[in-house]
Homo-oligomer: A and B are copies of this chain.
Amino acid sequence: MPSGEDDLIGRYFKPIATDPGALGLADDAAILKVGGDDLVITTDAIVEGVHFLSGDPPETVARKALRVNLSDLAAKGATPAGFVMSLALRNADEEWLASFARGLSDDATGFGCPLLGGDTVATPGPLTISITAFGRVPPGEMILRSRAEPGDRIVVSGTIGDASLGLAILTKKITVGDVAVREMLLGRYRMPQPRIALAESVRKFARAAMDVSDGLAGDLAKLCAASGVSAVIDAGSVPLSDAARGLMEQGRTCLESVVSGGDDYEILCTIAENSFGDFARSARSVGVAVTSIGTIVAGNMLPKWLDAEDDEIAFPRLSYSHF
Q: Contacts A322-B5, A323-B4: A45 and B132 contacting too (C-beta < 8 A)? A: no
Across-interface contacts of A51 in B (CB, < 8 A): 121
A72 touches B28 (CB 8 A): yes
Closest-by-CB residue of B relative to A218 is B3
Closest-by-CB residue of B relative to A87 is B45
A323 touches B92 (CB 8 A): yes
B40 touches A29 (CB 8 A): yes
A132 touches B28 (CB 8 A): no
Across-interface contacts of A122 in B (CB, < 8 A): 47, 50, 322-323
Closest-by-CB residue of B relative to A211 is B28
Residues on A facing B (Cβ under 8 Å) = 1, 3-6, 8, 23, 26-34, 38-47, 49-51, 72-73, 75-76, 78, 84-86, 88-89, 91-92, 116-126, 128, 130, 132, 134-135, 139, 142, 144-146, 210-211, 214, 218, 221-222, 226, 302, 318-323
A26 touches B226 (CB 8 A): yes
A39 touches B39 (CB 8 A): yes
**In the complex the two chains form, what is the Cα distance from A49 to B122 in whole Å?**
10
A302 touches B1 (CB 8 A): yes
Known: A27-B76, A27-B226, A33-B38. 20 other contacts (CB 8 A): A3-B218, A3-B319, A4-B322, A6-B321, A26-B146, A27-B144, A28-B145, A29-B41, A29-B42, A31-B39, A31-B40, A31-B41, A32-B38, A41-B117, A43-B84, A43-B85, A47-B122, A88-B130, A123-B128, A125-B128
Across-interface contacts of A38 in B (CB, < 8 A): 31-33
Interface of A is mostly: mixed
A251 to chain B, nearest CB (A): 28
A32 touches B39 (CB 8 A): yes
Stoichiometry, as copies per complex, reads 2
A211 to chain B, nearest CB (A): 6
Nearest 10 pairs of A and B residues by beta carbon: A125-B125, A3-B321, A4-B323, A122-B322, A130-B130, A132-B132, A34-B34, A29-B42, A45-B86, A86-B130
Q: Contacts A45-B130, A218-B3: A76 and B144 contacting too (C-beta < 8 A)? A: no
Q: Contacts A122-B47, A130-B45, A318-B1: A29 and B72 contacting too (C-beta < 8 A)? A: yes
A205 to chain B, nearest CB (A): 18
Q: Which of B44, B116, B320 contacts A41 (CB 8 A)?
A: B116
**In the complex the two chains form, what is the Cα distance from A132 to B117 in whole Å?**
10
Can you list 14 A-B contacts (CB < 8 A)? Answer: A4-B322, A4-B323, A29-B42, A29-B73, A29-B78, A29-B135, A31-B142, A32-B41, A45-B86, A45-B130, A47-B122, A47-B123, A49-B124, A86-B130
Closest-by-CB residue of B relative to A23 is B144
Closest-by-CB residue of B relative to A85 is B43
